Amino acid sequence: MKQISLLLFTFLYSLFFTQNRIDSLRLWNFEELKNKFTIYDEANKKLEARAVSQYYLTKAKKQKNILEIAEGYNLIHLTEDFPLALKYIDSLAMITKNVKGDVYPARTFIIKGNLYYKYDNLKAALDNYILGLEYSKKHKNLKQIAYANMNIAYLNSYMGRNKEAAKTFRYHLLNSQNITDEYQHDQMRVSLVYCYLKINKIDSANFFIQEGLNSPFVQKNKYNMNQYLYLSGQLNLTTKNYQLAIAELTKAYTYFSSINDNNQNYVLYSLGKCYEGLNNKQETIKYFTQIDANIKKTNITFPELGDVYTFLIDYYRESGDKEKQLYYIDRFLKVDKKLNEQFRYLSTELHQKYDTPNLLQEKEDIINELKNKKTFLYVSVSILILILFFLTYFYYKSKKAEKKHQKIAQNLIHLIEKRSPETIQHQNGKQIEIYQSIKDESGNKTNKTIPEEVVQSILKDLDTFENKLHFLKNGITLTSLAKNIKTNTGYLSEIINNHKDKNFTTYLNDLRIDYVLDQLVQDKKFRSYKLPVIAEEIGYNNVQAFSIAFKKRTGTTPSIYIKEIEKSISN
């Protein structure tokens, strides 16, 4: 009875609000309605914001104003959950398909990309941002070009490319040129602070945090204030000022959880890391368990989840709770699969599609083709059976691939354990590769365009680079290495190709992976590190890049390789 009364009250309140406000809404023009919507939306007053957006759309339709109808669809989609929001954006696309000018369809793609980003479909978000960027450039709309670039910077940051993202955010923060409004300007600052914290630019991060906290715009907005409270807590976590960090993060969590905002999971993660730093495992478990419960409801992931589940699995393994250990292993596998799919897609597609707009038309054709096929799939039982068959097939195929990876790992371990001077070893710091390059009869290819003394000098520098393990440093590029050994990139690239039988990227990755293969077998402490730490130790910015390079080099994965080492030791 109480529940029915509550529902009835909510319904009556909705009617009362709509009827009570309708007269005042009639007095406002479109710009005033939009400003009112923004006020309600930022205050998390969804009922009021929805009423304003619905009236906005109704008024625009009565006036048959195409651009205002489009804006009405844009506003109303912000008040709805994903399925209905997507329908409103599709309606926006339909109503503007014949509109002339430089705004559409670029704006529609950017709006749709934002919706997909909000609901953690990063593949679709990237595709829409790229399309938005293409049309914006075609019509030379500087404002929308900036919006598309900023949104792609969010994806770069998600991928761990925080240096690149920070450049974009800083540029648009300091050179807004009437491109961003007050809210967007503040979000640039929030994003820049996040990137600075990730790349350990503490002073710069603190400067912009204080600037944000002292901003009149932020001070009058609870949501924005709590964003900076979270960032300040994150900064104190980074500097190991755990108690102050906990105080700030707890306040931020109270707010974000009260409005059911996804930022609460980031705050929970930081709180858990604070207590991990204080060696309080019970509190860490409490916060990490809550994250899992939230993720299970929303299925909205974030990169640090691998760390969360690894901690939970290790904790319950140590405590002997097999049931919970198995549960979190299963949860980790499901979450990790989604994260890996997104990282794999973004890592291979982001740079190429961002820099190569000519591929976008092909991508759009494929998307349209897949949409047509999807309609047919929904009405065809036979296709459903076929899908089930393929799922079964891929399951057994994955099991077969796993056994293959285990066998490869076992062979690598055996090779290292039984190695001779011709296999992997470190002699005076120099690493010898497992896989010997195929050389011609003279042992190396020759190049007649580079003076021989220059070739020998560069080869000597490369020996030093390998001997002293400089390849383990983070951020090495062809340009930086060429600068360090005082040559040009053309010479260096050509000599590596001719004398190492590979390009620079492969050369660098092979050195790192061969080093880590041996180190994992020989050094128990190194082997106990988590994969993100191992990746960082050998020069990678993130664990995904490390895993991709490892598998390309060896044919197996780091986790399987480490697991097989542990098996061989226990046996």
Of 296, 332, 290, the C-alpha closest to 314 is 332
In a domain, 232, yes or no: no
Residue 464 lies in a domain: yes
| pLDDT value at residue 448 | 52
Q: In terms of Cα–Cα distance, which of 505, 565, 513, 567 is closest to 538? A: 513
Residue 166 and residue 157: Cα distance in Å, rounded?
Answer: 8
Rounded Cα–Cα distance for residues 34 and 29 (Å): 9
Rounded distance between C-alpha atoms, residue 57 and residue 65, angstroms:
10
Domain contains 448: yes
221 located within any domain? no
- Mean pLDDT per 10-residue section of the chain, whose length is 571 residues: 37 43 72 86 82 90 91 91 92 91 90 89 88 88 86 83 87 78 85 90 92 89 91 93 94 92 91 94 93 89 86 90 88 84 70 49 51 60 63 61 73 70 39 39 52 90 91 91 90 90 92 91 88 91 91 89 84 67
CB 338 within 8 Å of CB 114: no
Would you state the pLDDT for residue 524?
87
- Is residue 194, in this structure, part of any structural domain at all? no
463 token code pair = 């020996």
| Residue listed under structure tokens 């991709």 | 548
Say what the pLDDT of residue 303 is. 84
Q: What gap in Å lies between CA 229 and CA 136, rounded to an integer?
A: 35
**Strand partners of residue 431:** 426
- 8-state DSSP, 359: G
Whether 128 is covered by a domain: the verdict is no
430 - beta bridge partners? Answer: 427
Q: Please, are residues 538 and 512 in contact by the beta-carbon 8 Å criterion?
A: yes
Is 159 a domain residue? no
Distance CA 308, CA 285 (A): 9
Give me the pLDDT at residue 236, please: 93
- What type of residue sits at position 334? K
Under DSSP, the state recorded for 99 is -
Q: How far is CA 44 from the centre of its chain?
A: 26
Q: What is the CATH number of the domain that holds 459?
A: 1.10.10.60
Number of structural domains (the chain) is: 1
Task: Give the pair of three-digit tokens for residue 233.
Answer: 């807590």
- Would residue 480 count as lying in a domain? yes
Query: What is the C-alpha end-to-end distance of the chain, expressed in Å?
Result: 64
Contact predicate 543/532, CB 8 Å: yes
**Cα(36)–Cα(523) distance, integer angstroms:** 63
Which amino acid, residue 282? Answer: Q
Output the pLDDT for position 251: 95
Domain that holds residue 470: 426-570
